[in-house]
Structure 1
């Protein structure tokens, strides 16, 4: 089994958010391969950069967080590349108005479908959309798999 972490799950770990512990607990309890895409790394890097720009973190703290991000990615295994077909599928998904998806979230669903992975997210709207399209999904903070 493959578990694909979206940015919300990975950021919760790095930022020591309360829900992050449930994600950590999931990583230690599962035997699944834990993967992220290069896009997730870009999203989390952007969030760290934003914290530094807003002066919620110092540049040194930002660098430390980026180092932790890189360490987590290196320890997790393979980094999943985005394929052009992922972007085309994400475009089709955002055009389904009832899914209420933003492009980044649609891209996560498309990647999971391509690599046959379960989506691990803390985003309830993304989880609902994943469920609506039949993608296995889990929110570790709610301990619910769909």
Structure 2
């Protein structure tokens, strides 16, 4: 099954968070040569890097380096899936389950991954639990 990366995985890898070693190990051992992300991922990665820089978690130089590395991934490693109105509709239905605490952006990722028959790869336990509730394939790193 083709993996679909949650933004948390991408940002952790790009910024050298403590989970980056686990992510690199997973990337080395994966069986699929394709890695999926979506158009929405582009916005979220940019936002997350800006937030990290604004809050002093990374320097301007680290942010620039992360953006350059992300561009390399976009050109060489990632298949970018388009986002449709149906994805937003399905994400809204996922968010209706208030007990899951699913955020809108995560619900959108889940809808895209499910439609693509992809395996969601995430660092977020709550997101993984929601994926399980909806019968989606996932891996919690």
- Same fold per superposition (TM over 0.5): yes
Per the normalisation by structure 1, the TM-score is: 0.89
Structure 1 residues not aligned, in runs of 5+:
141-146
Q: Distance in 2 between matches of 1:15 and 1:70?
A: 14
Q: Distance in 2 between matches of 1:106 and 1:132?
A: 12
Alignment correspondent of 1:143? none
Asked if 1:28 corresponds to 2:28, the answer is yes
Moved more, 50-59 or 71-80: 50-59
Asked if 1:39 corresponds to 2:44, the answer is no
Per the normalisation by structure 2, the TM-score is: 0.92
Structure 2 residues not aligned, in runs of 5+:
none
**Over the residues paired in the alignment, what is the CA RMSD in angstroms?**
1.3
Alignment correspondent of 1:125? 126
Q: How many residues align?
A: 140
Query: For 2:48, what is the secondary structure of its paired residue?
Result: helix
Q: Distance in 2 between matches of 1:58 and 1:124?
A: 28
Alignment of 1:94-113 (within 5 A): 94-113=95-114
Q: Distance in 2 between matches of 1:107 and 1:123?
A: 15
Q: Distance in 1 between matches of 2:51 and 2:79?
A: 26
Alignment correspondent of 2:79? 78
Alignment correspondent of 2:92? 91
Change in Cα spacing, 1:14 to 1:139, as seen in structure 2 (3 Å) is: same
Q: Distance in 2 between matches of 1:26 and 1:41?
A: 22
Alignment of 1:45-60 (within 5 A): 45-60=46-61
Check whether the contact 2:13–2:20 (CA below 8 A) recurs between aligned residues: yes
Task: Identify the structure with bigger relative contact order (alpha carbons < 8 Å, sequence gap 6+).
Answer: 2
Q: Distance in 2 between matches of 1:119 and 1:99?
A: 17
Moved more, 19-28 or 46-55: 46-55
